[in-house]
Amino acid sequence: MSRVRLVDIAHARSGDKGDRCDIGLFARDAATYALLKREVTGERIARHFAGVATGPVELYPLDNLLALKIVLNAALQGGAARSLRSDNLGKCMAAALLRMEIDLP
Amino acid sequence: MKTVRIGAGLGFYGDSWRPVAASIERGGVRYIGSDHLAELTLAILQKDRMKDPAAGYTRDLVPMLASLWPLAQKHGVRFVLNAGGLNPEGARDALAAEFARRGWKARIATVTGDSVMERIDALRAAGEPLAHMDTGAPIDGVREKLLFASAYLGAKPLVEALATGADIVLSGRVADAALFLAPLIHEFGWSLGGNDSDYSRLAQGLTVGHLLECSGQGSGGNFNSYLANGWESVPDLAHIGYPIAEVREDGTAVITKAPGTGGRVDFDTVRQQLLYEVHNPHAYFSPDVVLDMGTLSLKDLGGDRVEVSGATGRPRPSMLKIVAGYQDGWAGTAQIGYSWPGAMKKARASAAIIEAQLRESGLRYDEIHTEFLGYNSLLGPLADDARLDEINEVYLRMVVRSQDRRLAEAFPRQFPWLALSGPPTASGFSGIEPARQLLGLWPTLVRRELVEPQVKISVTETLA
């Protein structure tokens, strides 16, 4: 079985609201979207961001946009304005997600 | 069918207005909606206002409109801006003075009443708990440390302001997308609610606003894609055109940009913005309508045109959202660089030395955050440490949190001696910088009827 990094099959943008970081993950085509829905599960995302996000992960598939909406709770040290991190707004969380490797069918 | 073209202004306080000129000149827009307020901007404005009671609005307002007004007047373009911040009347006075000085005639409408900072106790007395929306914590714990508290108003007062014939509408905190929804309601006479088609139109208008409120992010800016049509293939970012929406009376819209500008409007750049800072896409809340994006359709028409249709809406919530900000301690920061060979090893050794010295000297901090610029300051635990031994250079960045400003300020003073007595090649020390105030955000809810009666609209004419 071969593996692929998300950066090679999808794109993503992240933002913040309070202590939540949200990431939109966009498949390059319908077949990739089916793959993302199967492989990029809430549990998988939580493991990927262990040590960054301490709250639960929410996941919303959007078939009309070939996209997954991901919400990481308690992910920004309490929020951008009290965070000590350089990436206090979580703008690079999307890039961090694109590092995830998944199995190809 | 009637069509209205509306263009994106700024996406935040400090954004560029150069692309707005192209939208006015060549984009055929009738309105510019301009979002100057991120969640935290009001905290910055509050600090300004504490120094000068006439301040408290975003200072980009006056130079922006001084630059764009002659063009806007020529093309009959009206502005809706939330640049009033904490002091829309102060913003209006500054703008009117500048217009008068230049001999320009304009009608400016000002919307006030979003700030509830002076009414926190009255709202509590009226039975509002004002508990933290996410944690449920009572507000008493931060009551004395609050810096600002403003409710997100909807489109209605902005529509009323446009109905006065104003060329420029200035507000404080309103829902970002309301800056764009309001001109559509004004032009088309959309009902603010009643049946499903009313809610669908409002939901479409909200979607348009959401796609335009972040300026260039809706037209190929910050396009985080590394695929074949990824960010590197987006043309001419130096001359990016901000997004423009052509909206029909039934709410369907085409997102595009001015001809001859850079950037790109296609299925990928538009969907990336559509989900930006959205949580549950089936229940995107605004003061005017609750939007479900699950029924939306984006159709790439080619030539930098994407059609948006099919949004569905549900009735507006009975509560308005307030975001308050409170003082949450101080941060002290220091940064120092190391070069190859062994850059990471040296930077880590310095961090360990600093921590040991803090323990010995009794300087106690609530938290010490350590990161390495060039290695993990942006990706954190997801940074890849392959070839780290050979890295060309790295900066150690340490930040401490303290409730005591002086203690935070003392932190960078622990570093300079490292230059001559620590690990080799220390360079590029960031200096003894003043402590930075940290802020906590307090999102909460309030019944509409406790806020909306305070909302007022006033109209001023320059050269009247």
Secondary structure (DSSP) of A12-70 = EEEEEETTEEEEEEEESSHHHHHHHHHHS-HHHHHHHTTTT--S-EEEEEEGGGTEEEE
Per-residue exposure over B340-365, b if at least 16 CB sit within 10 Å of its own CB, e if not: eebbbebbbbbbebbeeebeeeeeeb
Contacts of B377 in chain A (CB under 8 A): 85-87
Q: What is the mean pLDDT of residues B150-167?
A: 98
Give pLDDT, residue A91.
Answer: 94
Q: What is the mean pLDDT of residues B171-185?
A: 98
Cβ <8 Å between A80 and B39: yes
pLDDT in tens, B413-423: 999 999 999 99
**Using CB atoms, which residue from A10, A24, A82 is nearest to B328?**
A82
To test the contact with chain A by mutation, choose from B147, B264, B269, B279 the residue with the greatest count of A C-beta atoms within 10 A, namely: B279
* Rounded percentage of chain B residues whose pLDDT exceeds 90: 96
Cβ <8 Å between B279 and A58: yes
Give pLDDT, residue B39.
Answer: 85
Sign of CA dihedral B341, B344, B345, B349: positive
Q: What is the mean pLDDT of residues B254-262?
A: 98
Taking the CA of residue A1 and the nearest CA in chain B, the distance in Å comes to 23
Cβ <8 Å between A24 and B401: no
Separation between Cα atoms, residue B414 and residue B330, nearest integer Å: 17
Of the pLDDT bands very low, low, confident and very high (cuts 50, 70, 90), residue B320 is: very high
**Using CB atoms, which residue from B225, B271, B369 is nearest to A85?**
B369
**Using CB atoms, which residue from A26, A60, A79 is nearest to B272?**
A26
Q: What is the mean pLDDT of residues B274-303?
A: 98
Of the pLDDT bands very low, low, confident and very high (cuts 50, 70, 90), residue B40 is: confident
Tell me, letter by letter, the H, E, C secondary structure of A55-76.
CCEEEEEEHHHCEEEEEECCCC
Contacts of A71 in chain B (CB under 8 A): 279-280
Give pLDDT, residue B43.
Answer: 86
Q: What is the mean pLDDT of residues B315-335?
A: 96
Q: What is the mean pLDDT of residues B426-455?
A: 95
Domain B325-442 CATH (choose: 3.30.200, 3.30.70, 2.30.30, 3.30.750): 3.30.70
Give pLDDT, residue B194.
Answer: 85
* Strand B31-34 versus strand B78-81 pairing type: parallel
Taking the CA of residue B98 and the nearest CA in chain A, the distance in Å comes to 33
Chain B residue with CA closest to A97: the answer is B382
Q: Are B296 and B288 in contact (CB under 8 A)?
A: no
Cβ <8 Å between B134 and A86: no
Our CA angle for B314, B320, B321, nearest 5°, is: 110
* Mean pLDDT over each residue of chain B, to the nearest integer: 97
**Using CB atoms, which residue from B271, B280, B440 is nearest to A26?**
B271
Of the pLDDT bands very low, low, confident and very high (cuts 50, 70, 90), residue B435 is: very high
Give pLDDT, residue B56.
Answer: 97
pLDDT in tens, B101-118: 999 999 999 999 999 999
**Using CB atoms, which residue from A24, A62, A78 is nearest to B440?**
A78
Q: What is the mean pLDDT of residues B21-32?
A: 98
Give pLDDT, residue B461.
Answer: 97
pLDDT in tens, A8-22: 999 999 999 989 999
Give pLDDT, residue B464.
Answer: 77
pLDDT in tens, B359-410: 999 999 999 999 999 999 999 999 998 899 999 999 999 999 999 999 999 9
Contacts of A28 in chain B (CB under 8 A): 227
Separation between Cα atoms, residue B439 and residue B446, nearest integer Å: 22
Least trusted range by pLDDT, from B49-53, B231-235, B339-343: B49-53
Q: What is the mean pLDDT of residues B427-442?
A: 92
Separation between Cα atoms, residue B213 and residue B152, nearest integer Å: 15
Cβ <8 Å between B439 and A19: no
Of the pLDDT bands very low, low, confident and very high (cuts 50, 70, 90), residue B47 is: confident
- Whole-number Cα distances in Å, B187 to B2, B32, B247, B297, B347: 9, 14, 10, 24, 60
Least trusted range by pLDDT, from A20-34, A69-83, B59-73, B229-243: A69-83
- Is residue A1 predicted with pLDDT exceeding 80? no
Of the pLDDT bands very low, low, confident and very high (cuts 50, 70, 90), residue B1 is: confident
Which residue segments constitute the domains of chain A, with CATH numbers given? 3-77+86-99 (3.30.70)
Taking the CA of residue B139 and the nearest CA in chain A, the distance in Å comes to 16
- Is residue A75 predicted with pLDDT exceeding 90? yes
- What are the residue ranges spanned by the domains of chain B? 3-114+152-317, 325-442
